[in-house]
Structures are given as structure tokens and as C-alpha cells.
Amino acid sequence: MDAYGYPNAERDLGVYRSQWGLSSCTTANGCLRIMNQTGGTSLPAFNSGWAGEQALDLDAVSATCPSCKIVLVQAKSASLLDLGTAVNTAARQAGVVAISNSYGGGDLADSSYGAAYNHPGIAVTASTGDNGYQGGSFPASSHYVTAVGGTSLVKDSSARGWSESAWSGAGSGCTTLNAPPAGQTSAMTSCGGRAIADVSAVADPATGLATYAPTTKTSSSWAQYGGTSLSSPIVASVYALSGNTGGYANTLPYANPAGLFDVTSGSNGSCASWCTSKSGWDGPTGLGTPNGTSAF
């Protein structure tokens, strides 16, 4: 789920998947569908920044769930009204089990735009932001979504083979405008309402994903991308892999925290409760990162 157009989305996705030995994912074979915010085929005008976001989303889904079919919905603008319309269109597509949203803005109550993200039975994920602790950020602060923070992911010699710490840019915070998901308590978060994040995945651009993305309307190249725009589609893909998105999917990790890697180091700023990673829930990384699909 993104804004504006990306004329070479299918071509660039093909380059990415070929590079890593993944099966073809095209409109012709039914793996890929691209539509506008109302489900039509007249696509919005190109926007370089948002096209890069789309490339990252497509490549992250491909990397995490190579067998997933992908629907790319392009809103005509970055307004919450148009983005929300696009989310509702995505939710109406047959077979959709997860919707990733790699954007956010100031905090809002669900009574304003939350209805667009209220889709029980579909895992709706949203990035918490890339500017560290900023307080609430919508739609990540919605009661209905899984708020996805970010980590730095570094290869090491441990049994797992990797170590993680909170990425300094990962967004976090507390809002009293919306209720927390079931399983998230004020004793856990020190928040009288909804706290973010719920879970996380790699987001640090320094440890991010090799992505084939546009440099102009006609040209593309390889670069390393990150941000919680990476972690949100990763987690949405894990939900898709789990096959378990009944009810409100953001409650599942709280019921199954043993299926997560707990991230206990790093911070994203200076604040009383929501900036520093620790054992259990914390602001930058939530309950942790996926260890397979059992938490989802």
C-alpha cells in the first residue's frame, strides 16, 4: 500500500527476484497485481520518493515470502483520505491476508481515519517511523494495526548467527487517543493508552536490504534500503506465512511472545519509558522480532 505511480514496478521486481533466484512474479502469471486506490487500472503519476518505497515493499515481501502473491495498491496522493481509500480497496481483494503501510504522520484518533485500518481477519501493519522517539504516530498508533518498529541486524558467531539491537531511528511512543490491542497493558508499557511498537524487524539502513529501485522515471539501480518502511512489509509477510490472521492480528504476538527474539539493547532517544530496549516489551522494538512464524 503506497502512494503515486511507479511505471517500472513489474520490471524492477523481475530484476530483484532474478538476482536472488526467486520464481517469476508477474502480472501475466497472476503473482502480481497493480491497481489504483479504487481498484482500477488507470495508475497515478510517478513520484520518485514513493516509487522507491514501493520498490522496497515489493522486494521485502519477495525476500520474506517468495511464494506470496502480491497486490500493489497505489493511492493518487499521500493524503490520509486517499491512503485510507487504498487500504480499503486492498482489503476487498480476494485472498488478501496482510496489508503493509510504510508511512505515518502526526498522532490521530481512530475516530478520524481509523475505520480504513479496521479489517479483522487481515493483518494490517504500519511503520512506527524513522526519527526515533516522537510520541504517537498514525496509523501505527491505531488500535487496529500491528505497529512495527526497527532493529539493527548484525551477523555474529552466536548460535543464532545474528545479533540485534534497537535501531536509533525506530519510532516509539504512547498515545491516549486510542486503546491498546488486547494483551498490551499499562503495567507493561507505562502508557495509559496505546503504545508503539508491537513488534519489530530489521530497519537500520546500514544493515538493510539490497533493493532494486528507481533513480528516475525510466532508470533503476541497486542500493541498500532501510527504515521502518522495510520492517513493516517484513512483518506483514510473516503474518502471511503464518496463515493465522483471524480477529485482530496485532493481539497474536502478545499471546505468543516466546515466538520472538527479545531485543534488549539499544535506544532511540531520551525519554522516561519508551526509548530504551530492555527485556520484554519496549518502545523501539515492541516484544521483539520474528523467530519463525509462531508468534503470528
Residue 47 pLDDT: 97
Q: Quick check: 272 pLDDT over 90?
A: no
Q: Quick check: 101 pLDDT over 90?
A: yes
Peptide bond into 233 cis (omega under 30): no
Q: Running DSSP on this structure, what letter comes out for residue 19? A: H
Radius of gyration of the CA atoms of the chain, in A? 18
CATH topology for 2-290?
A: Rossmann fold (3.40.50)
Q: Give 89's pLDDT tier (boundaries 50, 70, 90).
A: very high
Question: Would you say 130 and 151 are in contact if contact means Cβ atoms under 8 Å apart?
Answer: no
pLDDT digits (tens, 9 = 90+) for 64-87: 999 999 999 999 999 999 999 999
Residues 6+ apart with CB under 8 A from 87: 1, 73, 99, 101, 116, 117, 119, 124
pTM: 0.98
pLDDT digits (tens, 9 = 90+) for 140-153: 999 999 999 999 99
